[in-house]
Amino acid sequence: MKVSLKWLQKYFDEPLPNAQEVADAYTFHAFEIEEAEGDLMDVKVLPNRAADCLCHRGLAKELAAILNIPLTRDPLREPLPMWDVGRPTLRIEIEDPKKCLRYMGAVVKGVQVGPSPAWLKEALERVGQRSINNLVDATNYVMLDLGQPLHAFDAHRLVERGGACSIVVRDAKDGERITILTGDEYGLTPERLLIVDGNADTPIGIAGVKGGSVAEITNATTDIIIESANFDGTSVRRTAQALKLVTDAPLRFQNRPSPELCAYGMQAMLELIQKVAGGDAVGVVDAYPNPATLSPVSTTLSRINGLLGSEFTTQEMQDVFLRLDLPCKVDGETLTVTPPFERTDLLIPEDLAEEVGRILGYDRIAPTELPPIAGTPDQARYRGIERMKDQLVEQGFTEVSTQSFAKSGDVYLANPLDATKPALRTSLDENLADALERACRIAPLVFPPGQTPKLFEVGTVFPTAGEYLELRMTEGVPAWGKDAPTVDNLSIAKLEEYGKGYELKRYTLGTYQPFSAYPFALRDIAVWAPAGSDDGCTKSLIEQEAGTLLVRCDLFDTFEKGGRVSYAFRLVFNSSDRTLTDEEVNGIMAKISATLTKKGYEIR
Amino acid sequence: MNPGRPHPLTVAIREIADIFGRMGFGIAYGPELEDEFHNFDALNVPPDHPARDMQDTFWIKDQPGKVLRTHTTAVTSRELERMAKEGRTEARVIAPGKVFRNEATDTTHEAQFYQLDGFAVGPVGTVTLAHLKGTLERFYREYLGEGVKVRFRPSFFGFTEPSVEVDAWFTAPGKEGKWLEMCGAGMLHPHDFSSVGLDPKKVAGFAFGGGIERMLMVKYGIPDTRLIHAGDIRFVYGFEKKTA
């Protein structure tokens, strides 16, 4: 949620602290800040608070509680007017109250569509929204201010019957079509909820997602119908995703704001329209079949402290609820909170403990170690598996880890990420063979001459009969017998006994050194060494002369003849940023040879 | 014969198992091809929750109700279920294992990775958020090094209440110290207990979960998570040698 500090300030008489302090207040007591720059702050509102905090009012309310400074005014605590239904200029009908929890419609006549006043334009632009016209801007402003999505239809584009327009909220019919405000046309199915011109039975909007172009506000619009409604979150989310129209309104509905909010959104909208576009509200109609209610939540002082591991007092807790504007009654040890309508997240005693913990601050929770527990922790199976690995490492095997997805198998994903690997592996065989092939190619980089890679992997495989943990090796261990298997099912092996009490080998790794993506070059050099030199100093000479492109130098042969000693080295060259050319490597070798010759070596 | 090498993830999990073992934690396993109940329902993830959508979770063809587990918290759920069956009111368990998320890969994300989940449960009042902080502080200190501090920030997970994000203050060699997001955690939600037959009025506890690759990357300076499970021995041998 993009928030403007200037917009937030509107809610406070006292000047807010600087942006960094505001960001810290949110971070440690409410929500993470994804990004902050100047007046703008991107607040990552948590899913359980998206019902009331995807708006400036909600975030101002949080800030007031965290910083303990009073809110100048709270639009959700102001009395609602007794709306004059007036002449029946609008009829509303909800087909399924589970999909549309509330629908308020207001007819406003005689508005003047035009550019928004500077303050409104500026306010929207500060949070990255584009100004369109005074009516559309007003709907956006109220949504960003209070969290209630709104829509405005051109009333003249709806058919009037008996002096009244009719709005019906119903499922789409199979094959029904609608053109939305962007100009795109969509074919519909019964899972899509529609706003329909009831007198003409034509769709004028996709409920909670996007308005239709048929009743679009234009510069010629004079009479409008304002919609302040509440649609089922799941239905809206699925529609928005299916039609790829995940915009501000569906984002809010899918988090299930209270339907009570509709009335406050409508109130703010009518006030704002009056201010920026004029006109007269001639009637407000409210279809609200099942008014929402929240139940009080009770907990106790010891329960909260017993969960948090804290020693907060009743007074401190009461103060937290006061700051959050959550009416709280205290009776001895018991605290009972009656959540205001917009706090749909407060349902169980643990929710109250969270409010106390985060507002007073988790830094006040002292780290405490768990007391010792009776008995030895059960790690036997784990140790059994690891003991198998230790045996193989001792026998010269290197462990690899590969991906579980495969080209084919017995079990297929309904929604593969990589279309070329839609199945789950039935064996480690294929991945291990690939890994071995690659290991052989790059072996000179990691192994001394003469050592060939031997690999193993332990991983879950998924044959039809059911998943199990497979151990697979690229070859057998001669010491274990010629016919010793190279594959094992560790899910049926009795590893608990094997692992009980086994002390695992410990390894210490240093910092990671990235390897090059470019091919390496190999060169051998054999020399007769002068008297008084040995393999170590010969190697040092080579390394000094070769420079940083030499990544490995191994002695692989030594012999004596006629009182002289011959050493043969294998040199591996590799660059981190390019493919080395033969000329370049030969040049280095020539330099090495020259230096060695100068030092009395004879190149063989 | 030269010995081979275990994979760095094996090395990491050994250290993790050892540290938690000294704090009384056992190790548990569960299936990677998990049922919806243990992965979602039992953990208070409602049926129409976005996390269950195709773009977040891998579902199995022709096997409705089966998913590739999205977290090893599914093992926690199975272990709580076992506690209920065995009539126990106390347990401490970690579950390191592979998990799957249907998301695009980049240097810090993979569709399959290892997660370390853990929980401690005891009679109400004996395991608290303060114990969570103490346990994780000791773990990160022993795993990442002295000087590591832990802080909590508010967060939300369906299966914990309260929920927190856990940051660790870590100073990489030659760099300035900074706060790093390490895992999500909180107090197990009453639903987690009641859904598997434990009484939330009698038991309570904490749980935590985070990516193991992330810990590896932080500790050893690995630049790209995709190196870890690529089956490449250059990665296995890519660490400055130190002896045990």
pLDDT for the residue B193: 97
Q: What is the pLDDT of residues A51-107, one digit of tens each?
A: 999 999 999 999 999 999 999 999 999 999 888 766 678 999 999 999 999 999 999
The CATH superfamily holding the domain A380-499 is Bira Bifunctional Protein; Domain 2 (3.30.930.10)
Cβ atoms of A180 and A213 within 8 Å: the answer is yes
Between helix A301-308 and helix A349-360 the angle, nearest 10°, is 70
In a domain, B29, yes or no: yes
Q: What is the pLDDT of residues A326-381, one digit of tens each?
A: 999 999 999 999 999 999 999 999 999 999 999 999 999 999 999 998 888 899 99
Q: Are strands A165-171 and A90-94 parallel, antiparallel or unpaired?
A: parallel
Residue B24: closest CA among A375, A381, A504, A384: A375
Instruction: Indicate the DSSP class of residue A567.
Output: E
Q: What is the pLDDT of residues A282-310, one digit of tens each?
A: 889 999 999 999 999 999 999 999 999 99
Q: Are strands A334-337 and A328-331 parallel, antiparallel or unpaired?
A: antiparallel
pLDDT for the residue B146: 85
Q: Measured between CB atoms, which of B100, B126, B239 is closest to A512? A: B239
In a domain, B242, yes or no: no
> What is the interface pTM, i.e. ipTM, of the complex?
0.95
Same CATH fold assignment for domains A2-73 and A297-363: yes
Q: Which chain A residues are Cβ-neighbours of B20 within 8 angstroms?
A: 377
In a domain, B3, yes or no: no
pLDDT for the residue B2: 85
Between helix A301-308 and helix A314-323 the angle, nearest 10°, is 90
Q: What class does CATH assign to A521-603?
A: alpha beta
Q: What is the pLDDT of residues B140-166, one digit of tens each?
A: 999 998 889 999 999 999 999 999 999
Q: Measured between CB atoms, which of A390, A402, A414 is closest to B229? A: A402
| DSSP H/E element including A489 | strand A487-489
pLDDT for the residue B244: 42
SS3 per residue for chain B: CCCCCCCHHHHHHHHHHHHHHHCCCEECCCCCEEEHHHHCHHHCCCCCCHHHCCCCCCEECCCCCEEECCCCHHHHHHHHHHHHHHCCCCEEEEEEEEEECCCCCECCECCEEEEEEEEEEEECCCCCHHHHHHHHHHHHHHHHCCCCEEEEEEEEECCEEEEEEEEEEECCCCCCCEEEEEEEEEEECHHHHHCCCCCCCCEEEEEEEEEHHHHHHHHHCCCCHHHCCCCCHHHHCCECCCCC
* Mean residue pLDDT across chain A: 94
The CATH superfamily holding the domain A90-287 is Phenylalanyl-trna Synthetase, Chain B, domain 3 (3.50.40.10)
Q: Rounded distance, CA B165 to CA B144, Å?
A: 18
The CATH number for B124's domain is 3.30.930.10
Residue A548: count other Cβ atoms within 10 Å of its Cβ: 8
Cβ atoms of A127 and A144 within 8 Å: the answer is yes
Please compute the mean of the pLDDT values over residues A502-510 and round it to a whole number: 92
Q: What is the pLDDT of residues A435-466, one digit of tens each?
A: 999 999 999 999 999 889 999 999 999 999 99
In a domain, B244, yes or no: no
Check A446 against B234: CB less than 8 A apart. yes
Under CATH, which number does the domain A2-73 receive? 3.30.56.10
Nearest chain A CA: its distance from B150 CA (Å): 9
Instruction: Indicate the DSSP class of residue A515.
Output: P
Quick one: pLDDT band at residue B243, thresholds 50, 70, 90? Answer: very low
Task: Count the domains in chain B.
Answer: 1
**Does the pTM of the predicted model rise above 0.90?**
yes
Nearest chain B CA: its distance from A350 CA (Å): 6
Between helix A582-598 and helix A535-546 the angle, nearest 10°, is 130
In CATH terms, A297-363 corresponds, of 3.50.50.60, 1.10.260.40, 3.30.56.10, 3.40.190.10, to 3.30.56.10
Check B231 against A400: CB less than 8 A apart. yes
Nearest chain B CA: its distance from A148 CA (Å): 21
Non-local (6+) Cβ contacts of A336 within 8 A are A296, A297, A298, A328, A329, A330
Most confident of A333-342, A482-491, B43-52, B167-176: A333-342
Q: Which chain A residues are Cβ-neighbours of B153 within 8 angstroms?
A: 27-28, 32, 362
> The tokens 């040995």 sit on which residue?
A534
Give the start-to-end residue ranges of the domains of chain A.
2-73, 90-287, 297-363, 380-499, 521-603
pLDDT top residue among B50 and B71: B71
Nearest chain A CA: its distance from B56 CA (Å): 10
